[in-house]
């Protein structure tokens, strides 16, 4: 698929998605969000894709937020629609995807950019990256899940401080807070993301999908995470991968999983 604001490339089973509006610090405008939706939808259903790495074009920004110029004139209803569309079509969709998605944060991850990174399953940051949710400086609050996901990741006290002050934090502070999983030199960013993703790709794909579903259920009020875990656990027993994994263990071999 050809996109205007995304660069995509597949190497073996990894799909690289680069948000490509460098002159606007990769800000998420309507078209970019629509393309992200289409790209992720395809990736989650493409059997040739095992996992996805999302990053930003250039060295300055991962994503500097939602495109402010597009919502400058919005009213209450348009604001609701913007947030609702973003939640369902992009951010929740990524979080609930059946394949691992890693954010490689190569620079500023602000507002919708940090919200995008937080919707991904794992975050790796370059040591030059800066992160924050500065929406209150614009008279709004985070609207793509930021109030919820930041609280889940760093706890209520720190989330309140970050969102109310609008302060940016650097990569090492983000690591200390648990907002990112690893911090590396900029030239190691994709290498580290690939290293982690390649390890996950050796594991049973349907079990990975079940793990994502069960772990996501732990922070949802409309689901009992323990019940979801029982359900996902039991589903695994019906897969070829379960049989292959156990057989390989018994024979002291490495399993080759088919994702069936």
Active site residues: 115, 135
User: In the complex with ligand COA, which residue's Cβ is closer, 105 or 206?
Assistant: 105
User: In the complex with ligand COA, which residue's Cβ is closer, 115 or 232?
Assistant: 115
Residues of this chain, 24-43, that bind ligand COA according to CB under 6 A: 24-25, 27
Q: Does 111 bind ligand COA (CB under 6 A)?
A: yes
Closest Cα to residue 142, out of 156, 121, 120, 163?
A: 163
111 in Cβ contact with 142 (< 8 Å): yes
User: In the complex with ligand COA, which residue's Cβ is closer, 79 or 238?
Assistant: 79
d(CA 82, CA 80): 5
Among 50, 134, 146, 205, binds ligand COA (CB under 6 A): 134
Q: How far is the CB of 111 from ligand COA (least distance, A)?
A: 3
The structure tokens 């079940």 sit at: 210
d(CA 97, CA 4): 23
User: In the complex with ligand COA, which residue's Cβ is closer, 45 or 59?
Assistant: 59
Q: Does 150 bind ligand COA (CB under 6 A)?
A: no
H helix runs in 46-107, sequence order: 68-71, 76-86, 92-95
66 in Cβ contact with 107 (< 8 Å): no
Among 19, 33, 39, 110, binds ligand COA (CB under 6 A): 110
Residues of this chain, 44-103, that bind ligand COA according to CB under 6 A: 64-69
Q: How far is the CB of 168 from ligand COA (least distance, A)?
A: 8
The structure tokens 């994709």 sit at: 190
Q: How far is the CB of 216 from ligand COA (least distance, A)?
A: 25
d(CA 165, CA 248): 53
Strands (E), 101-197: 101-105, 108-110, 122-126, 130-132, 169-170, 182-184
User: In the complex with ligand COA, which residue's Cβ is closer, 2 or 72?
Assistant: 72
150 in Cβ contact with 159 (< 8 Å): yes
Q: How far is the CB of 125 from ligand COA (least distance, A)?
A: 15
> Which range in 21-29, 73-81, 221-229, 252-260 contacts ligand COA by CB under 6 A?
21-29
Burial class for 221, CB neighbours closer than 10 Å (0-12, 13-18, 19+): exposed
What is the largest distance, in Å, between two alpha-carbon atoms of the chain? 65
Residues of this chain, 204-243, that bind ligand COA according to CB under 6 A: none
Q: Which residues are near ligand COA by CB under 6 A? A: 24-25, 27, 64-69, 108, 110-112, 134-135, 138
């Amino acid at each position: 698929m050809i996109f205007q604001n995304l660069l995509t490339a597949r190497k073996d089973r990894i799909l690289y998605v680069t948000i490509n509006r460098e002159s606007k610090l990769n800000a998420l405008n309507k078209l970019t969000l629509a393309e992200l939706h289409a790209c992720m939808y395809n990736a989650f259903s493409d059997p040739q894709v095992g996992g996805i790495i999302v990053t930003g074009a250039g060295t300055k920004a991962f994503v500097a937020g939602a495109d402010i110029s597009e919502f400058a004139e919005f009213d209450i209803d348009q604001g609701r629609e913007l947030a609702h569309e973003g939640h369902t079509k992009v951010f929740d969709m990524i979080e609930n995807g059946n394949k691992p998605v890693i954010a490689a944060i190569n620079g500023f991850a602000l507002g919708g950019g940090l919200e995008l990174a937080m919707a991904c399953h794992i975050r790796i940051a370059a040591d030059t990256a800066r992160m924050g949710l500065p929406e209150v400086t614009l008279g709004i609050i985070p609207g793509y899940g930021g109030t919820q996901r930041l609280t889940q990741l760093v706890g209520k006290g720190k989330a309140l401080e970050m969102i109310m002050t609008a302060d940016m934090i650097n990569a090492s502070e983000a690591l200390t807070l648990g907002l990112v999983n690893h911090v590396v030199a900029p030239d190691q960013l994709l290498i580290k993301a690939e290293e982690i993703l390649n390890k996950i790709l050796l594991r049973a794909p349907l079990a990975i999908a079940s793990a994502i579903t069960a772990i996501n259920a732990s922070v949802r009020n409309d689901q009992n995470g323990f019940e979801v875990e029982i359900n996902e656990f039991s589903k695994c027993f019906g897969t070829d991968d379960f049989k292959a994994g156990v057989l390989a263990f018994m024979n002291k071999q490495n399993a080759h999983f088919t994702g069936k």
